[in-house]
C-alpha cells in the first residue's frame, strides 16, 4: 500500500505535467492542405501546399537599403523582393525586373530598361522612376554606398528607362544588381524604411504574412505575381533554428521540410538516405574559400618567406580528411576549378615540411624566434581546424598562439588590421569583380585605419589585373586578367588557402522539388544555390509533393 502511494504521487505528478501537451499532440505540426497528389523529386511540379524551411539565423531586417543582408536575409526577403538582375547557372547574368541592360561602347554607361506590366503587391507600378529612386537610395546608404563608388549619377531617360553613368568602365556592373543593391522596393517602402525593415513589400512571388523575430516568418502566395503560373507553393514558413544539431533533428522528426547546413556530418548522413532526402550542395563561384588570412602590413607576415613557409607547412589534404570528411577540394586560390574562372599558374607553396623548415630557419637566422598569434571565433568546429594547423605549423618550427575572439571582435580586428593571422572564409561572388575591393591596393590602408583589403597586400600587378577585369568587356582579356590575379595571390600568399568550402548545402525531404532548379524570366537556368556559408535559392519554383 505504501509503495502504491509513492507511485501514485509520482505518476500523478508526471501526468499533470505531460497530459495536456500529449493530448494536444499528434506528433506533426498541422499544415495547410495541399491540392497536389503525392510526388517525389524528379516528378512534375505540384501546385499548392506549404513548405517549412529551417534557417540557422534570423535576418537583421528586410529593408535592402538600410539592413545588412546575410544569406538568410536573401532566403526570407528574396521571396518578396526581387532584383533587377539574376545570375545564370553558367555564371552569366540575365535581366529579371529589368527587361534589358545595355552598356555603352566602353561600358561607362549602362541603360536599364524596366520590364513593363509589373506592379508591387501594394498596387504601386514598377517603373523607371521607382528603379532610379531605389538606386539613388542605395548609393546614399552608408551600408551599400561603397559598392556604388564607380557610379557617378542616374538619369531617367523615359518612364521605363534609367541610365547609370559611371566614373569609368565597369563591365561587371550588372552582377552587383543581382544582390541586395539591385533589389527594388516600392516608393512607400523607401518613404518608411522602418516599416520596410519589418514588413517587406516587393514584386515577388510571395507576400508578407507574419513575422516573429527570432522565431519564424511566413509568406503567402502573391495572387497577382507577374510570372504566370508561379509560385507553386501557397505558403512558406521560415523557421529560425540556430542550433545545427537540433535543426537536423527537426528535419528528421518531420518538423521542417528542408534546411540549410554547413555540416559535413549532415551531408554524409542525409546523403546516405537517398530515398528520404535530397542534398543539394553549392558549387562553382558560389563556394567560398576557407583560409588563413595573413596581415602583410605587420610583422611577422610582412616577410614573404614566412608567408610561404606557412603555406608549405599546411597539409590541406589532412585538414580536408580530418575536418570535412573528405568532402571538399583543396584550394590554391579564390576560385574553384569548376567555376570557369580558375586558372593555373603561379607558384603556390605545396605541402613540403622541409621547405617550410628551411624558410623558417632563414627568417630565424635574421630575426630570431618566429612566433605569431592566430585569432579565431570560439566555435568548436573552427577550433578543431585551428588546432590542427597549429600542430602543422609547430612542426615547421613556428610558435603559434591561439586567441579566441567573438565574431564581432574578429571582424573589427580584420577591418583595422589588428591581427597577425586569422581564420577566414570569403570569395563567393558570382563574378570575380565582386572581390575587387578586398584585393585591390587602393583599399589597403595602414594598420589602425579601416581598410577593405584586410590582408593589406599592396601589389601593382595584381591591382592592374583587377582594373583590367573590371573595365575590359572582352571575355578572353578578363580571363587573362583574373589568371594574373590568381598567379599573384599564389606567389605572394596573403592567404594560406585550405579548401573550397563546398559543404554549404540545402537538404530536403524527397517530397520537396525544385530546390536549385529554377528558371529566370527569359528561360535561362538560374544559378542553383548561391551565398555563403549556408547557400540560398529562390522559392518561386519550389513545390511539395508527398508528405
Partner 1 sequence: MILARPARLALVLLVVTFLSYALLDLLPGDTTTQILGLSASEEARERLRAELNLDDPLMVRYLDWLGGLLTGDMGTSPITSVPVTEALAERLPVTLELLVAAQLIALGLAVPVGVAAARRAGRALDQALTALSFALLSTPVFVLGVVLILVFAVELRLLPATGWTPISLDLGWNLTSVLLPAVTLGCGQMAVYARLLRTDLIATLQEDYITLARARGLSPRRILWRHALRPSAISLVTAVGLNLGALIGGTVIIETLFGLPGVGRLIVESIFSRDYLTVQGGVVLISVGYVLVNFAVDLVYVAVDPRIRRA
Helices (H), 25-122: 71-77
How many chain residues bind partner 1 (CB under 8 A)? 70
Classify the C-alpha dihedral 543-86-528-29 as positive or negative: negative
**Cα 526 from Cα 505, distance rounded (Å):** 17
Q: Give, as ranges, the residues between 198 and 217 that touch partner 1 (CB under 8 A).
A: 198, 212-216
Provide, rounded to whole angstroms, the least separation between the CB of residue 415 and partner 1.
6
Per DSSP, the residues of 377-437 read -S-HHHHHHHHHHHHHHHHTT-EEEEEE--HHHHHHHHHHT--SEEEEEE---SSGGGGHH
Per DSSP, the residues of 271-309 read HH-TTTEEEEE--GGG--EEEEEE-TTSTTTTSHHHHHH
Provide, rounded to whole angstroms, the least separation between the CB of residue 429 and partner 1.
12
Q: Which residue lies nearer to partner 1 by CB, 16 or 365? A: 16
Among 249, 371, 384, 474, binds partner 1 (CB under 8 A): 249
Q: Which residue lies nearer to partner 1 by CB, 363 or 451? A: 451
Q: Which residue lies nearer to partner 1 by CB, 104 or 146? A: 146
**Cα 115 from Cα 427, distance rounded (Å):** 31
Per-position x/- string for 9-28, each x denoting binding to partner 1 as judged by CB under 8 A, each - no binding: xx-xxx-xxx-xxxxxx-xx
Residue 197 near partner 1 by CB under 8 A? yes
Per-position x/- string for 370-409, each x denoting binding to partner 1 as judged by CB under 8 A, each - no binding: -----------------------------------xxxxx
Q: Which residue lies nearer to partner 1 by CB, 26 or 275? A: 26
Among 168, 229, 254, 345, binds partner 1 (CB under 8 A): 254
Contact by Cβ (8 Å): 279, 271: yes
Residue 239 near partner 1 by CB under 8 A? yes
Q: Which residue lies nearer to partner 1 by CB, 35 or 379? A: 379
Q: Which residue lies nearer to partner 1 by CB, 123 or 142? A: 142
Residue 437 near partner 1 by CB under 8 A? yes
Residue 145 near partner 1 by CB under 8 A? yes
**Cα 529 from Cα 279, distance rounded (Å):** 12
Return the bridge partners of 114, or none: 98
Q: What nine digits make up the cell of 86?
A: 539574376
Q: Which residue has the cell 499528434?
A: 26
Q: Which residue has the cell 519564424?
A: 216
Provide, rounded to whole angstroms, the least separation between the CB of residue 28 and partner 1.
7
Q: Which residue has the cell 523582393?
A: 81
Stretch that binds partner 1, among 40-48, 94-102, 243-251, 533-541 (CB under 8 A): 243-251
**What is the number of other CB atoms lying within 10 angstroms of the CB of residue 330?**
18
Per DSSP, the residues of 454-514 read TT----HHHHHHHHHHHH---HHHHHHHHHHHHHHHHHH-SEEEEEE-TT-EEEEETTEE-
Q: Which residue lies nearer to partner 1 by CB, 412 or 480? A: 412
Q: Which residue lies nearer to partner 1 by CB, 163 or 413? A: 413
Binding site for partner 1 (CB under 8 A): 2, 5-6, 9-10, 12-14, 16-18, 20-25, 27-30, 58, 60-61, 66-68, 142-147, 193-194, 197-198, 212-216, 239-243, 245-247, 249-250, 252-255, 405-409, 411-415, 437, 449-450, 452
Amino acid at each position: 500500500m505504501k509503495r502504491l502511494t509513492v507511485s501514485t504521487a509520482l505518476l500523478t505528478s508526471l501526468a499533470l505535467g505531460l497530459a495536456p501537451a500529449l493530448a494536444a499532440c499528434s506528433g506533426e505540426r498541422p499544415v495547410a492542405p495541399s491540392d497536389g497528389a503525392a510526388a517525389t523529386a524528379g516528378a512534375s511540379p505540384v501546385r499548392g501546399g506549404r513548405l517549412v524551411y529551417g534557417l540557422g539565423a534570423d535576418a537583421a531586417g528586410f529593408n535592402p537599403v538600410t539592413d545588412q543582408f546575410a544569406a538568410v536575409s536573401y532566403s526570407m526577403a528574396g521571396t518578396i523582393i526581387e532584383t533587377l538582375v539574376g545570375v545564370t547557372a553558367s555564371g552569366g547574368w540575365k535581366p529579371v525586373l529589368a527587361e534589358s541592360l545595355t552598356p555603352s561602347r566602353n561600358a561607362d554607361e549602362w541603360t536599364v530598361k524596366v520590364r513593363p506590366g509589373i506592379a508591387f503587391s501594394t498596387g504601386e507600378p514598377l517603373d523607371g522612376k521607382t528603379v532610379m529612386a531605389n538606386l539613388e537610395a542605395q548609393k546614399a546608404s552608408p551600408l551599400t554606398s561603397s559598392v556604388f563608388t564607380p557610379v557617378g549619377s542616374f538619369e531617367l531617360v523615359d518612364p521605363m528607362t534609367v541610365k547609370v553613368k559611371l566614373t569609368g568602365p565597369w563591365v561587371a556592373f550588372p552582377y552587383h544588381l543581382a544582390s541586395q543593391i539591385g533589389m527594388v522596393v516600392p516608393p512607400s517602402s523607401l518613404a518608411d524604411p522602418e516599416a520596410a525593415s519589418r514588413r517587406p513589400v516587393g514584386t515577388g512571388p510571395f507576400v508578407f504574412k507574419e513575422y516573429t523575430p527570432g522565431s519564424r516568418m511566413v509568406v503567402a502566395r502573391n495572387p497577382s505575381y507577374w510570372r504566370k503560373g508561379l509560385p507553386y507553393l501557397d505558403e512558406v514558413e521560415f523557421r529560425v533554428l540556430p542550433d545545427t544539431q537540433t535543426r537536423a533533428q527537426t528535419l528528421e522528426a518531420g518538423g521542417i521540410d528542408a534546411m540549410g547546413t554547413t555540416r559535413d556530418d549532415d551531408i554524409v548522413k542525409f546523403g546516405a538516405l537517398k530515398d528520404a532526402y535530397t542534398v543539394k550542395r553549392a558549387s562553382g563561384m558560389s563556394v567560398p574559400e576557407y583560409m588563413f588570412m595573413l596581415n602583410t602590413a605587420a610583422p611577422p607576415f610582412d616577410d614573404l618567406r614566412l608567408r610561404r613557409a606557412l603555406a608549405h607547412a599546411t597539409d590541406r589534404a589532412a585538414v580536408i580528411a580530418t575536418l570535412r570528411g573528405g568532402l571538399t577540394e583543396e584550394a590554391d586560390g579564390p576560385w574553384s576549378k569548376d567555376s570557369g574562372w580558375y586558372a593555373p599558374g603561379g607558384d603556390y607553396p605545396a605541402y613540403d615540411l622541409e621547405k617550410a623548415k628551411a624558410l623558417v630557419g632563414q627568417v630565424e637566422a635574421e630575426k630570431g624566434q618566429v612566433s605569431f598569434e592566430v585569432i579565431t571565433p570560439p566555435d568548436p568546429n573552427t577550433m578543431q581546424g585551428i588546432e590542427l594547423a597549429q600542430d602543422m605549423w609547430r612542426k615547421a618550427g613556428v610558435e603559434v598562439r591561439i586567441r579566441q575572439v567573438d565574431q564581432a571582435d574578429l571582424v573589427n580586428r580584420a577591418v583595422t588590421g589588428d591581427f597577425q593571422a586569422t581564420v577566414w572564409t570569403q570569395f563567393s561572388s558570382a563574378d570575380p569583380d565582386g572581390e575587387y575591393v578586398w584585393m585591390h591596393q587602393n583599399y589597403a590602408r595602414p594598420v589602425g585605419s579601416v581598410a577593405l583589403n584586410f590582408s593589406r597586400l599592396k601589389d601593382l600587378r595584381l591591382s592592374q589585373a583587377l582594373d583590367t577585369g573590371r573595365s575590359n568587356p572582352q571575355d578572353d582579356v578578363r580571363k587573362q586578367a583574373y589568371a594574373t590575379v590568381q598567379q599573384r595571390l599564389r606567389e605572394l600568399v596573403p592567404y594560406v588557402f585550405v579548401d573550397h568550402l563546398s559543404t554549404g548545402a540545402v537538404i530536403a525531404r524527397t517530397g520537396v522539388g525544385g530546390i536549385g532548379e529554377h528558371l529566370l524570366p527569359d528561360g535561362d537556368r538560374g544559378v542553383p544555390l548561391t551565398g555563403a556559408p549556408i547557400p540560398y535559392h529562390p522559392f518561386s519554383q519550389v513545390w511539395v509533393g508527398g508528405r
